[in-house]
Structure 1
């Protein structure tokens, strides 16, 4: 089977024909559900075989052209990491010819409808113009590649290409010979995934078991267990941390942004800065401990529901904040060496990650040692301490009557930075300005529970802010968290919601914030191509 036109060759057999008919059922984008668009780049997933619009794909693909077949792509719905995977390979000469002729044919539909093209006037100039988008191979410094293209078109004329040596009346017109695709169904152009999988299987058999390789993660060597994090919850392992006064928010392309399709289709967009408003903040689908919003020395478990550290007090926040209402979560100490302690509670987005929770105005905590509660580095006794085996409940109440409703930040006016094939919004912390704006919220308070019993309500009239579940650990202690919806002990004295419900609610609010920002700036957004 020739590369690029999978199952399209003559005499492919009944089974191959049936297989191709089955694949041609995928006529819509696997993400947005809209129909295929042959005028833009579309990638086929190697697993589900659905095609996906480039504008719907989060992965930063680099410069591509439509009708490629020299790549491997896995969509986030099929990836065991929850992250898209993409790799472009060096194109064979036959693949370059198929891609060039397909694009020329598609462009001709808007003009004269030609299906045959001149080697010197059409095919070679198109390849020269789009070389980097077609292949990973460096541009050739000699002109011998043009003869290679001509030989390929002649060699594969029986299966992939057709050649018209002269005009229909037998005369040799200017520009002849002309070349075109033998099978003009452009929607059938796709990678030969079956052949690729067979080659990979043969390679594994020939070289024996694949050697395990330990990859390097940010700040430390990645163990086997840490590698499973990426396979479970879809946040990049190699990522920027919130530190040094800057915060980083993982993004994905916003298919609803104006000029999104024009930007993706433009051949002039390569290498240009991407406007932030073409992307949107990616909302985690579950409430977990954040990988990026933690001190770098802390270690997060595979399921992102426990944290441990072997140094002084350092903190990790959860992925989702709360601003209004009553919210509850639980924590337990899984391991507690001698001299190890922890603090649990709630933290604002600017609470210091490299300090104990409750060190500044942005955090409130309850310490395992002596049951002391802390805020602004001032402690006072609340209850007896807690230890391994105790189930700890943490409740925050932010009266809706006292806290105005507000959508989360859209971030679309923030700059985009690239880190390891992913784009992030970069936001600078404004600690002085935030401190000036802090105002107490009447009736806002925090309650702590041990094994189902209320230890007391404290920290009344909290400052108005977004609050994240937070844990700070000291000297090797391991703390596990439970964000719900099922808890071992549920408060009976107040109405509350489990933190797990914040994931869907926050995603809706984030979408509304993006729509509001785009509406406010309607008619003011431009891209220069």
Structure 2
């Protein structure tokens, strides 16, 4: 049996690039952001693993096609303490063939370990991890606000290393504003970034920086035509996680013919466990000029590029690798675009660890199908 820490020194994440190179789903864009009312949360246990077709064959589920952008056009939104992670059949899961061929499991929940979370092949604005009223552009690299402050996160987050992304302000109607920066998965999507303890933002008006709803003077403001840069430095520590959560132990729920893992946020527990990360820093840039250190010793965790907008301002994003105003050579950063391939390797490692550590339990589950 292997632990996450022991595998740190014996198995390199990068060695998985070859075996995972065919696991990614390309994101070619060409999808319009959905407007309108927020959809209700997906059904609970009653909908979990709902069988498809006459006998509920797993291969029928595996045959479902995704749009060219790699994500269902109709999908559940993350909200109310729950997150929904799109799942796909895992062809390498143990007992996969026996399960697909079984006639005994009709009407029973599908074990989560037979599936895996679908890892996008590129870093874009998330369709599901956003306030539903935001309008996402067809290429998923621009967003327009509506009425009060609300937020969208990127598809990928980072928990260690130095990373950079850019945003350009395209249109700023009178009275509109933006707060841009970095936020964790627990940030409130129906609030401005920096409203709670999980986000750190830079406001267009007066250049104020925000965290926990407390604004402090930082720089001059920014507006239409400006390109902003966002750099985060997250040093390794003794408690740094080197693999993400596996979702194979989570329940599966069905929504519009696709399966999703349902994961509970446990926000209160996360608040109780917040710890500053010594040496961590956030810098903001305006048209290539570093505005200085905005935050230091931020809370440890996984941070996503985040955009929160007030009224119908439009902001485009650039996750790299080519930036309009790259930081100077003193910052040894990586573009957020590089996180996509790395995330596939890390998720594969997390899934392998789960299957290895729970082999005996999975074998018993298989006999009970």
Is the 2:180–2:203 Cα contact (8 Å) retained in structure 1? Answer: yes
Partner of residue 239, structure 1: 75
1:338 corresponds to which of 174, 196, 208: 174
Deviation at 1:524, TM superposition (A): 1.0
Q: 1:436, 1:334 → 2: CA distance?
A: 39
Measured at CA, do residues 403 and 392 of structure 1 come closer, stay the same or move farther in structure 2, by a change above 3 Å? farther
Partner of residue 112, structure 2: 276
Partner secondary structure for residue 359 of structure 2: coil
Measured at CA, do residues 65 and 396 of structure 1 come closer, stay the same or move farther in structure 2, by a change above 3 Å? closer
Specify which structure has the higher proportion of helix: 1
- Bigger drift between 252-261 and 469-478 goes to 252-261
Deviation at 1:268, TM superposition (A): 2.4
Partner of residue 521, structure 1: 358
Partner of residue 65, structure 2: 84
Q: 1:332, 1:283 → 2: CA distance?
A: 27
Partner secondary structure for residue 355 of structure 2: helix
Q: 1:355, 1:448 → 2: CA distance?
A: 21
Q: 2:87, 2:188 → 1: CA distance?
A: 24
Partner secondary structure for residue 523 of structure 1: helix
Partner of residue 255, structure 1: 91
Partner of residue 62, structure 1: 53
Q: 2:325, 2:236 → 1: CA distance?
A: 25
Q: TM-score, normalised by structure 2?
A: 0.82
* Unaligned residue ranges in structure 2 (runs of 5+): 1-21, 24-50
Q: 2:325, 2:56 → 1: CA distance?
A: 56
Q: 2:156, 2:239 → 1: CA distance?
A: 18
Q: How does 1:275-354 map to 2 (within 5 A)?
A: 275-354=111-190
1:451 corresponds to which of 283, 287, 302: 287
Is the 1:403–1:464 Cα contact (8 Å) retained in structure 2? Answer: no
Query: Deviation above 4 Å: which 4+ runs of structure 1?
Result: none
Deviation at 1:491, TM superposition (A): 0.6
Partner secondary structure for residue 80 of structure 2: coil
Q: 1:74, 1:364 → 2: CA distance?
A: 40
Q: 2:77, 2:179 → 1: CA distance?
A: 22
- Bigger drift between 506-515 and 266-275 goes to 266-275
Q: Does 1:509 align with 2:332?
A: no
Partner secondary structure for residue 320 of structure 2: coil
Q: 2:167, 2:106 → 1: CA distance?
A: 48
Deviation at 1:310, TM superposition (A): 1.4
Is the 1:402–1:442 Cα contact (8 Å) retained in structure 2? Answer: no
Partner of residue 42, structure 2: none
Deviation at 1:273, TM superposition (A): 0.9
Q: 1:403, 1:286 → 2: CA distance?
A: 28
Q: 2:105, 2:239 → 1: CA distance?
A: 44
Is the 1:408–1:513 Cα contact (8 Å) retained in structure 2? Answer: yes
Q: 2:143, 2:164 → 1: CA distance?
A: 19
Deviation at 1:311, TM superposition (A): 1.3
Is the 1:402–1:441 Cα contact (8 Å) retained in structure 2? Answer: no
Is the 1:403–1:441 Cα contact (8 Å) retained in structure 2? Answer: no
Q: 1:352, 1:242 → 2: CA distance?
A: 10
Deviation at 1:255, TM superposition (A): 1.4
Deviation at 1:439, TM superposition (A): 0.4
1:496 corresponds to which of 333, 338, 361: 333
Deviation at 1:401, TM superposition (A): 4.8
- Which structure's relative contact order is higher, taking Cα pairs within 8 Å and 6+ residues apart? 2
Is the 2:55–2:106 Cα contact (8 Å) retained in structure 1? Answer: no
Partner secondary structure for residue 327 of structure 2: coil
The structure with more radius of gyration: 1
Deviation at 1:62, TM superposition (A): 3.1
Is the 2:62–2:89 Cα contact (8 Å) retained in structure 1? Answer: no
Q: Does 1:387 align with 2:223?
A: yes
Q: 1:436, 1:406 → 2: CA distance?
A: 22
1:436 corresponds to which of 243, 268, 272: 272
1:421 corresponds to which of 250, 257, 271: 257
Partner secondary structure for residue 459 of structure 1: strand
Q: How does 1:343-422 map to 2 (within 5 A)?
A: 343-401=179-237, 404-422=240-258
Measured at CA, do residues 498 and 286 of structure 1 come closer, stay the same or move farther in structure 2, by a change above 3 Å? same
Q: 2:134, 2:173 → 1: CA distance?
A: 16
Measured at CA, do residues 307 and 65 of structure 1 come closer, stay the same or move farther in structure 2, by a change above 3 Å? closer
Deviation at 1:406, TM superposition (A): 2.3
Is the 1:63–1:270 Cα contact (8 Å) retained in structure 2? Answer: no
CA RMSD across the alignment: 2.3
Deviation at 1:403, TM superposition (A): 5.8
Measured at CA, do residues 445 and 478 of structure 1 come closer, stay the same or move farther in structure 2, by a change above 3 Å? same
Count of aligned positions: 317
Is the 1:316–1:471 Cα contact (8 Å) retained in structure 2? Answer: yes
* Unaligned residue ranges in structure 1 (runs of 5+): 1-30, 33-59, 76-82, 86-229
Deviation at 1:254, TM superposition (A): 1.1
Deviation at 1:61, TM superposition (A): 5.4
Q: Deviations over 1:400-432 (max 9, x none)?
A: 256624210001111100001110010111111
